[in-house]
Amino acid sequence: MTKLITVLNGPNLNLLGKRQPEIYGHDTLDDVEQQCTALAGEFDLQVRFQQSNHEGQLVDWIHDAREDSGGIIINPGAYSHTSIAILDALNTFEGAVLEVHVSNIHQRESFRHHSYVSQRANGVIAGFGIEGYTLALRRMHTLLNAG
């Protein structure tokens, strides 16, 4: 059966490719979704790609993923560094969680060095640009086929 992977993006990531290309590159979130959808097809996976600027919406989508998804790939944006609510929600999810950051958060301001989500994540990718999403999807494929 085709497994569903939920790909979540947090605040301001809808602006990817439209502002600050020196940090986040030129590709848009639509480009990311297309790349993930194409790769998922090769792996017989399906992706549900969602972005919100609202913390509670991301929590609700994590709850939805509890019902139907084998894994979550999440770029929580700035909520990585602040949100215990998103961490708590992810802690209720039984599948694999992979955290993606487009930029290298460890090379940036010190307030970006800590991520609450990393405490739950099975793996973290940072600083690989948007390629991080497809790398995470490859890793998800490996994890789902390991058990």
Please answer whether residues 35 and 43 qualify as being in contact, where contact means their C-beta atoms are separated by less than 8 angstroms: no
SS3 call for 136: helix
**For this structure, is 133 an active site residue?**
no
From the list 26, 54, 79, 101, the catalytic residue is 101
10 to 39, contacts with ligand CA2 by CB under 6 A? 12-13, 15-16, 19-20, 24
Active site residue 24: yes
* Residue 124 token pair: 């973290």
User: With the CA atoms of 18, 65, 101 and 108 taken in that order, what torsion angle do they form, in degrees rounded to the nearest 10?
Assistant: 100
- Site for ligand CA2 contains 140 (CB under 6 A): no
Residue 110 binds ligand CA2, judged by CB under 6 A:
no
**Tokens 């609510």, located at residue:** 85
The HSE-up count of residue 147 (CA atoms within 13 Å, CB side) is: 7
Q: What is the pattern of x (binds ligand CA2, CB under 6 A) and - over residues 53-92?
A: ----------------------x-xx-x------------
Nearest approach in angstroms of CB 10 to ligand CA2 is 7
Cα dihedral 13, 73, 141, 66 in deg (nearest 10): -140
Instruction: Give how far the C-alpha of residue 110 lies from the chain's centroid of Cα atoms, to the nearest Å.
Output: 21
Indicate which single residue of 6, 70, 97, 101 sits in contact with ligand CA2 (rule: CB under 6 A).
101
Using CB under 6 A as the criterion, which residues of the chain lie in contact with ligand CA2 when the complex forms?
12-13, 15-16, 19-20, 24, 75, 77-78, 80, 101-103, 105, 112
